Structures are given as structure tokens and as C-alpha cells.
Amino acid sequence: MTRMEILFGGFGGQGIVRAGLITAKALSLYEDRMTTFTQAYGPEARGGASSACVVVDDEGVDYPYVTRADILVVLSQEAYKKYIGMLKNGGVLIYEKNLVSIDEADIPKGAKVYSIPATKIAEELGNKIAANIVTLGYLTRITKIVKYESMKKAVKESVPKRFIELNMKALEAGYNYKEGSA
């Protein structure tokens, strides 16, 4: 695989940074890929802008930031507006169905667009805070950039022990989600 750039965007409290970190961990630790992870967030503890970048390059990562996203995951309308211009032609957009409204005119040529009601699914599992993990399950199945078992191990290692069961269910629910089923 050549360079792959993944950009996660949302607001503080949605677990955007954790989603990026888990993805980077799954790729680097469990699939032995050369990976970098960077994050950015506003000064607010919750509600401010938040983003995470994961860059994978089997030749070595010479620049750790996303310049043109192969995969864009957005969980808020603000993140969609801010980052949709960074999605490359032919890229993949995954968005939170109940929080983001897309405009077909914004979508780059050849991009594949997927939506998931991640927050609703997480709420049905018992806690909307797991929406980021629901999204990771969906990302894993749709893009096949990482093996499910690698993502599962990374999630287990990255969430508080008391939330492991919830997050395992969230990952599985996202992985098994079929568009139009929720």
C-alpha cells in the first residue's frame, strides 16, 4: 500500500481523538504498518472542534498530516463543512447520518459516500459516548484498511476497563450495520 490518509472530524466529547488513536494503534501495532497519529482540538473540553489524522505509508511516513484525505470520517456538521474540501477524488466519506447533512455538490468526483446513525446505535447499546467506536466498526468493514481483529484488540486496549463490553458491542454493531437498517 502506498500512502493512505485518514481524517476524523467532529466536536469535543465525541471521541474523535480516541477514534484516530485506536485506528493508528490497530494499523501500527497489530498490522505492523508505518503509521503516524496527530490530533487537534479547541480549548473547550466538550463542544469545540476536534480532529485526528492517521497517515499510513509502507515506505515510511515523511509528513504526518493529512493533505488530501483518502478517507474522511465526520461526526458533526461543522467538521463536514471544514474538511469536505480535503477529501480527494475517489475517496471515501463516512458521516454521522443524524448529525450531518451533506450537499452532493461538495462531494469530490468518484467519492464513495456512506452514512451511519452511529449515535442512535450507541444510545440503543446504552451510551451515546460509544458512537465513535460504532463508526470504527463501520469504517473497518467498508474500507477494509484494517482487519476486524486488529481493530478489536486496539479498542480493548484503548478504552477504560469498565467500558470494554459496551465498546466491543459498539464495534460489532458498526461492523454489522447495513445502510438503511437503523
The three three-digit cell numbers of residue 92, written as one number = 471515501
Of 29, 11, 32, the C-alpha closest to 21 is 29
Distance CA 64, CA 76 (A): 24
Domain ranges of the chain: 4-176
DSSP letter (8 states) at residue 129? G
Instruction: State the pTM of this model.
Output: 0.94
Question: Sign of dihedral through CA atoms 13, 176, 93, 136?
Answer: positive
Check: CB of residue 154 under 8 Å from CB of residue 26: yes
Could you tell me the fold of the domain covering 4-176? Pyruvate-ferredoxin Oxidoreductase; domain 3 (3.40.920)
The one-digit pLDDT tens for each residue of the chain (182 residues) are 689 999 999 998 899 999 999 999 999 999 999 999 999 876 655 667 899 999 999 888 999 999 999 999 999 999 999 999 999 999 999 999 999 999 999 999 999 999 999 999 999 999 999 999 999 999 999 999 999 999 999 999 999 999 999 999 999 999 999 975 54
The three three-digit cell numbers of residue 143, written as one number = 474500507
